[in-house]
Amino acid sequence: MFKGKSVIHVITSTRLDRGGPSLSATQLMEALRLGGQEGMLVCPDAQDDPKNYAVCSSKSYPSLEHLLAVEPRESIGALHIHGVWEWYLHQVSILARKSRIPYVFSPHGMLEPWAMSHRRWKKRLAWWLYQRNDLKHSAMLLATAPSEAEQFSRLGLTNKTVVLPNGIDFPADLLDKESEQPSRDSAAIRTALFLSRIHPKKGLGMLVEAWAKVRPQGWQIRVVGPDAGGHRQWVESQVKRYDLQKSWTFQEAVYGEEKAKVFLSSDLFILPTFSENFGIAVAEALAYRLPVVTTTGAPWQGLIDHRCGWWVAPTVEGITQALAQATSTSSQELNAMGQRGRTWAREEFAWPTIAQRLKEAYELYIP
């Protein structure tokens, strides 16, 4: 019986520059712990270095073998495996089955059509050699949006599936000290923010073209995030090609208080992505009272439903239209949109809510 036992979370890296899963997995562990669900971490590179790694307060081991050599088997309720494709995770799945430990998978968008098409032949081979079988033996699959759950079905996965968005932390000063927030109305130059990995799938090339078409007066754009495979250099070359250097700036990834300052000094958030299973940066932007422009490649129709942003086709035309509308919207209305977005995000994406829902799912579906 699962209830009262520990969940072992498994991830290949906690490096912050590896993308959202590194942070969301460790934050999920902490939220579950605070909600009464004990857990441990299995990760080959976990380090106590908050500047470069996501740090969790739970006990960690470099491999499942190390953990099983120390921890009593009867104390382990299940494994929660974050990600797919990595050989390390496949080896964990094999050992879990041999040890008769049930496991659940969070693919974190790595099975989405865009992701499947990236290095297509390598992934197709991995799918038929091991990944499909590992997933089929999972007690439960976690999707961050209905669209991701639908993709599981298209791939022939019939496992129990729970749709549960990623959670986000809410800055106490933003939520509890409204009167102390800096006013965005008085800024001479308004700032649009892109904060994510600088990666081809994030659509920055489309954003450069859209910006060149609109050339919004009184606006600048700030691109913040780690460079993935040298893509930043290509984006910078496109900015130069369209003579946009005066309105575009680039900055390395920031975390913690520095990240908060970046959000608080911005007026609009833009994620022109081709594909996201969730898009944690969108939820974070909403928590910081920013209206959002993103694409239908991400599951954010709620931006329309809650009147806090623009949700458009992942094309130059779609992004151009949204950018033109957003940058011609008054500061008053942008602030009102941001307030509506923050209210929605607090209701739906706060970690305690997410952790409680997941704990209930564990107890329901794990034998």
In angstroms, what CA-CA distances link 332 with 137, 286, 291?
52, 16, 12
- pLDDT of 24 > 90? The answer is no
Task: Please report whether residue 1 resides in a domain.
Answer: no
Mean pLDDT over residues 285-311, rounded? 96
My answer on whether 17 and 161 are in the same domain is yes
Task: Please report whether residue 70 resides in a domain.
Answer: yes
The order of strands in the sheet holding 292-295 is: 248-251, 219-224, 190-195, 268-271, 292-295, 309-312
My answer on whether 46 and 101 are in the same domain is yes
Tens digits of residue pLDDT in 71-130: 999 999 999 999 999 999 999 999 999 999 999 999 998 998 888 887 889 999 999 999
The conformation of residue 313, written as its DSSP 8-state character, comes to: -
My answer on whether 189 and 60 are in the same domain is no
My answer on whether 136 and 202 are in the same domain is no
- Helices 20-34 and 280-287, axial angle in degrees (round to 10): 60
My answer on whether 152 and 252 are in the same domain is no
- The Cα–Cα gap between 157 and 153 comes to 5
My answer on whether 272 and 197 are in the same domain is yes
- pLDDT of 131 > 80? The answer is yes
- Token readout for 146 is 């209905």
The β-bridge partners of 19 are none
Give pLDDT, residue 181: 47
Task: Please report whether residue 311 resides in a domain.
Answer: yes
- Token readout for 364 is 């329901």
- The Cα–Cα gap between 140 and 268 comes to 37
Domain interval for residue 182: 172-349
- pLDDT of 186 > 70? The answer is no
My answer on whether 220 and 292 are in the same domain is yes
| Total number of domains in the chain | 2
Q: 26 φ, ψ to 5°?
A: -75, -35
Task: Please report whether residue 195 resides in a domain.
Answer: yes
Determine which helix (DSSP H) or strand (DSSP E) holds 39, and give its type and residue range.
strand 39-42
- pLDDT of 240 > 90? The answer is yes
Specify whether the CB–CB gap between 361 and 161 falls below 8 A. Answer: no
- pLDDT of 1 > 70? The answer is no
Task: Please report whether residue 336 resides in a domain.
Answer: yes
Collapse the DSSP code of 273 into the 3-class scheme (helix H, G, I; strand E, B; otherwise coil) and give the result: coil
Q: Which of 112-121, 146-155, 202-211 comes out lowest in average pLDDT?
A: 112-121
My answer on whether 24 and 115 are in the same domain is yes
Give pLDDT, residue 168: 87
My answer on whether 148 and 210 are in the same domain is no
Give the global pTM.
0.80
CATH code for position 96: 3.40.50.2000
Give pLDDT, residue 180: 43
My answer on whether 220 and 155 are in the same domain is no
My answer on whether 228 and 333 are in the same domain is yes
- pLDDT of 189 > 50? The answer is yes
Q: How confident is the model at residue 179 (pLDDT cuts 50, 70, 90)?
A: very low
Task: Please report whether residue 74 resides in a domain.
Answer: yes
My answer on whether 304 and 334 are in the same domain is yes
The conformation of residue 185, written as its DSSP 8-state character, comes to: T
Task: Please report whether residue 274 resides in a domain.
Answer: yes
